[in-house]
């Protein structure tokens, strides 16, 4: 599985290179209707039905760049971006707001679940609408864009909540806002003394890498430390353009992490995750989380069992640099927050002798350290399949 080369759908072959590289042109020329999509992609009946059924709810939109990466019906790019009739399936435990984000909102556009971190929603639009989006209840609905007064209320709350040190700026995709708006938002967050770290959560490096241009990085670097959380899911998204976007961010001091989401038949195998993560690390982006897909209504057909994520982690350890291995996280439905899971490697325990299996299933014994007076360790078996609050 090799990363993808520069590509352009034949419909746009006559467009000058500078125009193609202009993110404003890419946004203006997004494909958002069945009529526009039909001549570009040979749709399956299930996709056509999916688009018709979804009309009026969670819309679809695809940049010419992202569309150019598509291949046959099983293509991982296509399955993330083109609606499918399976989105209409309903299973009893699915939810509209699985993470109870609305309940954890002290003010409408802020989610504050953990003491030291808060998540601010600054827009509900994105270049491409991912079919597995957790926030599809809101995302894509331009009429629900945060009002100025809501942002004011959020910044007031942040200013009087000194426990918050890390502010995630999310959406939608915050990079849907112009540089000047982002600059003003980050400056406003920076003016709050107890906020130490800013994080921009964006899928633009994947769906519209042209957006990460020189003006963007030069404007926003003024607010460092700014971390960027992005969302690559498959090596088919690993193009030279995407690589350049990641490099430009790193060159300008942004620390970039990737949050992939496990998706059935798209990336739920070790070889795909390995190829993706090797490419990311080479482009100075650290795999941060591998997420279990949230139980959002309309995504049942994309979800994998939790065991698939554990099996992938088990296969990667020993195969792949620790730099390229993310944490496997499940965001607990109902607002429990994130937990991380690891494969169980403890085979048995005899007194202080702990026997573990390695990545090749060979067994090795480690003799545990003795308890000390002020040890913080608890007596008993280390919980190798431990969960800790994220
Ligand atoms: C995921 C999340 C965060 C960030 O969590 P990290 O584990 O620090 O990346 C913060 N707030 C909310 C509400 C979240 O869902
Ligand atoms: S970019 Fe993020 S917020 Fe936008 S549709 Fe995709 S997953 Fe949802």
| Helix ranges (DSSP H) in the chain | 17-20, 23-28, 34-37, 45-54, 64-67, 76-81, 148-159, 179-190, 204-207, 214-220, 240-251, 270-282, 306-316
Provide the whole-model pTM.
0.94
Give catalytic status of residue 285 as yes or no. no
What is the tens place of the pLDDT at every residue in 144-174? Answer: 789 999 999 999 999 999 999 999 999 999 9
Phi (first) and psi of residue 246, to 5 degrees? -65, -40
130 is catalytic: yes
Distance, CA of 325 to CA of 319 (rounded, Å)? 10
Residues 239-244 have a mean pLDDT of: 98
Mean pLDDT of 57-69: 96
Mean predicted confidence (pLDDT) in 202-224: 98
- Confidence (pLDDT) at 293: 97
**Atom 6 of ligand 2, residue of closest alpha carbon:** 130
Nearest atom in ligand 2 to 207's CA: 1
Which conformational region is residue 349 in: left (phi greater than 0), alpha (psi within -120 to 50 degrees), or beta? beta
pLDDT tens column, 96-133: 998 888 777 878 899 999 999 999 999 999 999 999 99
**158 and 195 Cβ atoms separated by less than 8 Å:** yes
Contact 229, 287 (CB under 8 A): no
Specify the DSSP element, H or E, that contains 287: strand 285-291
Q: Is 190 a catalytic residue?
A: no
- Show Cβ contacts of residue 26 under 8 Å, excluding neighbours closer than 6 positions: 20, 63, 64, 65, 127, 208, 210
Gap between the Cα atoms of 263 and 205, Å rounded: 19
What is each CA distance from 222 to 186, 198, 226, 302, 334, in whole angstroms? 9, 12, 9, 39, 37
pLDDT tens digit string along 8-48?
A: 999 999 999 999 999 999 999 999 999 999 999 999 999 99
Ligand nearest to the CA of 115: 1
- Rounded to the nearest angstrom, the gap between the alpha carbon of residue 322 and the centroid of all alpha carbons in its chain is 20
φ, ψ for residue 278, nearest 5 deg = -65, -45
The domain ranges of the chain are: 1-343, 346-389
For residue 121, give the nearest of 61, 197, 200, 223 by alpha carbon. Answer: 200
pLDDT of 381 strictly over 90 = no
Active site (annotated) includes residue 173: no
For residues 81 and 72, what is the distance between their CA atoms, to the nearest angstrom? 13
Please name which of 18, 58, 60, 15 lies closest in space to residue 37, comparing C-alpha atoms.
Answer: 60
Catalytic residue among 129, 130, 137, 157: 130
Structure tokens at 86: 């399976």
Identify the pLDDT of residue 380.
52
- 337-361 pLDDT, tens digit each: 999 999 999 999 999 999 999 988 9
CATH of region 1-343, choose from 3.20.20.70, 3.40.718.10, 3.40.50.1820, 3.40.630.40: 3.20.20.70
46: burial class by Cβ within 10 Å (0-12, 13-18, 19+)?
middle
Considering the chain, what percentage of its residues have pLDDT values greater than 90?
83
Q: Which atom of ligand 1 is nearest to the CA of 289?
A: 9
For the stretch 74-99, pLDDT in tens is 999 999 999 999 999 998 889 999 88
Is residue 169 a contact partner of residue 184, using CB atoms and an 8 Å limit?
no
- Mean of the per-residue pLDDT values for the chain? 93
Instruction: Name the pairing type of β-strands 285-291 and 226-230.
Output: unpaired
To test the pocket of ligand 1, the residue of 114, 118, 257 to mutate (highest count of ligand atoms within 8 Å of its CB) is 114
């Amino acid at each position: 599985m090799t990363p993808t080369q520069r590509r352009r759908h034949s419909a746009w072959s006559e467009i000058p290179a500078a125009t193609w590289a202009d993110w404003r042109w890419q946004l203006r020329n997004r494909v958002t209707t069945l009529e526009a999509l039909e001549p570009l992609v040979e749709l399956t009946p299930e996709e056509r039905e999916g688009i018709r059924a979804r009309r009026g709810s969670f819309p679809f939109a695809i940049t010419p760049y992202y569309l150019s990466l598509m291949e046959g019906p099983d293509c991982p790019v296509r399955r993330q971006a083109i609606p499918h009739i399976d989105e209409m399936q309903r299973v009893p435990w699915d939810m509209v707001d699985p993470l109870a984000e609305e309940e954890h909102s002290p003010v409408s556009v802020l989610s504050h679940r953990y003491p030291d971190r808060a998540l601010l929603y600054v827009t509900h639009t994105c270049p491409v609408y991912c079919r597995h989006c957790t926030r599809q209840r809101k995302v894509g609905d331009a009429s629900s864009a945060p009002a100025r007064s809501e942002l004011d209320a959020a910044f007031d709350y942040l200013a009087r909540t000194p426990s918050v040190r890390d502010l995630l700026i999310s959406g939608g995709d915050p990079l849907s806002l112009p540089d000047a708006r982002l600059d003003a938002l980050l400056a406003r967050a920076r003016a709050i003394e107890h906020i130490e770290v800013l994080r921009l959560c964006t899928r633009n490096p994947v769906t519209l890498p042209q957006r990460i241009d020189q003006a963007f990085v030069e404007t926003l670097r003024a607010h460092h430390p700014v971390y960027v959380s992005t969302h690559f899911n498959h090596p088919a998204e690993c193009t030279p353009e995407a690589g350049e976007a990641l490099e430009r961010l790193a060159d300008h001091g942004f620390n970039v992490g990737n949050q992939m989401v496990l998706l059935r038949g798209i990336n739920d195998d070790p070889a795909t995750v390995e190829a993706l993560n090797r490419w990311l690390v080479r482009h100075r982006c650290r795999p941060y989380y591998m997420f279990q897909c949230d139980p959002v209504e309309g995504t049942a057909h994309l979800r994998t069992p939790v065991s698939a994520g554990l099996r992938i982690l088990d296969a990667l350890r020993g195969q792949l640099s620790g730099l390229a291995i993310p944490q496997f996280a499940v965001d607990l439905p109902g607002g429990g927050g994130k937990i991380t899971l690891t494969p169980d490697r403890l085979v048995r325990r005899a007194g202080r002798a702990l026997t573990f299996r390695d990545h090749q299933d060979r067994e090795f014994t480690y003799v545990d350290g003795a308890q000390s007076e002020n040890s913080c360790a608890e007596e008993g078996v280390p919980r190798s399949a431990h969960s800790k609050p994220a």
